[in-house]
């Protein structure tokens, strides 16, 4: 009886630890992906802003 009770407990603890590790790994990978996405979005925004600014400058110089 005692052995049967102890074994599932240890199994549950080990499985919980494994789940925690997996969830941590997944979380870190997702965070890294989100960071890369944010960087890409920022670079795209910067490019758009630069193109808009250059267009405005060109239009201003043409008008001027």
Domain spans in the chain, listed from the N-terminal domain onward: 38-63
From first CA to last CA, the distance across the chain in angstroms is 93
H helix runs in the chain, sequence order? 2-63
Query: Has this prediction a pTM greater than 0.85?
Result: no
Residue 28 has pLDDT above 80, yes or no: yes
pLDDT in tens, 33-62: 888 888 888 899 999 999 999 998 888 888
Of 43 and 12, the one with more pLDDT: 43
């Amino acid at each position: 009886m005692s052995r049967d009770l102890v074994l599932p407990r240890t199994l549950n603890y080990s499985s919980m630890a494994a789940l925690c590790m997996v969830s941590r790994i997944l979380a870190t990978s997702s965070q890294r992906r989100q960071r890369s996405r944010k960087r890409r979005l920022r670079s795209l925004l910067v490019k758009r802003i630069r193109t808009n600014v250059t267009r405005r400058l060109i239009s201003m110089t043409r008008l001027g």
